Amino acid sequence: MVVLLGAHPPARRATARKPAKHRLMPSPSTVVVGHYWSVSKPVLHIASGDELTIGTLITSTPARLEGAGVKPADVEPALRAIIDSVTDRGPGGHILTGPVYVDGAEPGDVLEVRIRKVALAIPYAYNAFGRTSGFIPEDFPTSKMRIIPLDRRAMMGRFAPGIDIPLHPFFGSIGVAPPASMGRISSAPPDLHAGNLDNKELVAGTTLFIPVHVPGALLQVGDGHAGQGDGEVDITGLETSLVGTFDIIVRKDMKLTLPRAETPTHFITMGMNKDLVIASKTALRQAIEFLVQEKGMTRDDAYMLTSVACDMRITQLVDGNVGAHVMIPKAIFTGSARH
């Protein structure tokens, strides 16, 4: 039987090897700027079951941050070094830490990324839009950036006097290399490699499942958000630097065509396409497939259940490929269906 979500094996199997802990911080030699690519050179090798702590950088430049009001002393030195010295950039703009080669991961496997911790690395975030970006650029012909202080003790973003935003930090981009046939692809649009999903559900406690397309998977992480609304309508969330801790597991007992996720309360299926209707249909079909394979339902019953008990949400509208996802609540399965 093909095992899908909801059937986690032990994170660390009983072997002679003790799982290792790795730490990877951003620097000019440990990041990729603006792309996912099957031939990118790994900066770290780990084994399945290992713990990985990764630091990521805010996706901006020192000049823009300082122009918006950040004190020069509060701009991270690693960001200055990367902007000054990394010349191999694009076609996207995200600073992504990695790639990380996961030993034993092969095309056709699934990389299970258990998000254990996500911590704020700096006390501020920004939100910005541009003349040609966002969902309604025709209504906003100028550009603007706002610096938003982050209260780490209260876990609130101080957007403006009288407006405080609860913080739920997550990585907008967690992805692997795409198939070699896709070449060097922009870090902006999400796709079958996951990447820039911008799914605000991917907080600590959530697990992301990504199909593997090349040996080693080549995991990259970045685009830290202190929070975000569904849609990410002006093209950015609360953009910031984060440090995350993950358990990385190669799953040879899973077969997926698109990324999926699991939170403590929900299963999540996803769809991405330039057309929101197609993205939504893909997410829905993925949900039906999950219910048939994992819960033993008929296709008819699964279609009905998605309509009466599941939520179709817009993930984001601004990344080239837009995203939709279906939230399948675990609470509706009381034991009569197969878990």
In this prediction, residue 5 carries a pLDDT of: 58
Per DSSP, the three-state class of 215 is coil
For residue 16, name the pLDDT band (cuts at 50, 70, 90): low
In this prediction, residue 168 carries a pLDDT of: 98
* Contact (CB, 8 A) for 176 and 193: yes
Least confidently predicted of 258-262, 285-289, 312-316, 335-339: 335-339
- Measure the CA–CA gap between 28 and 247, rounded to whole angstroms: 25
Least confidently predicted of 9-18, 105-114, 155-164, 242-251: 9-18
* Contact (CB, 8 A) for 190 and 197: yes
Hey, what CATH topology would domain 21-251 get?
Jelly Rolls (2.60.120)
In this prediction, residue 4 carries a pLDDT of: 47
* Contact (CB, 8 A) for 48 and 103: yes
- Measure the CA–CA gap between 288 and 66, rounded to whole angstroms: 48
Least confidently predicted of 41-55, 195-209, 324-338: 324-338
In this prediction, residue 302 carries a pLDDT of: 98
> What would the CATH number be for the domain defined by 265-332?
3.10.28.20
User: What mean pLDDT is predicted for residues 255-280?
Assistant: 98
**Mean pLDDT score of the chain:** 94
For residue 190, name the pLDDT band (cuts at 50, 70, 90): very high
User: What mean pLDDT is predicted for residues 274-290?
Assistant: 98
Per DSSP, the three-state class of 76 is coil
DSSP 8-state symbol, 238: S
- Measure the CA–CA gap between 316 and 107, rounded to whole angstroms: 28
Where in the chain are all domains bearing CATH 3.10.28.20? 265-332
Q: Crossing angle of helices 299-309/276-295, nearest 10°?
A: 120
**113 bridge partner residues:** 208, 248
Where in the chain are all domains bearing CATH 2.60.120.580? 21-251
Q: Under 8 Å CB-to-CB from 81, ≥6 apart: which residues?
A: 27, 28
In this prediction, residue 17 carries a pLDDT of: 77
User: What mean pLDDT is predicted for residues 1-15?
Assistant: 46
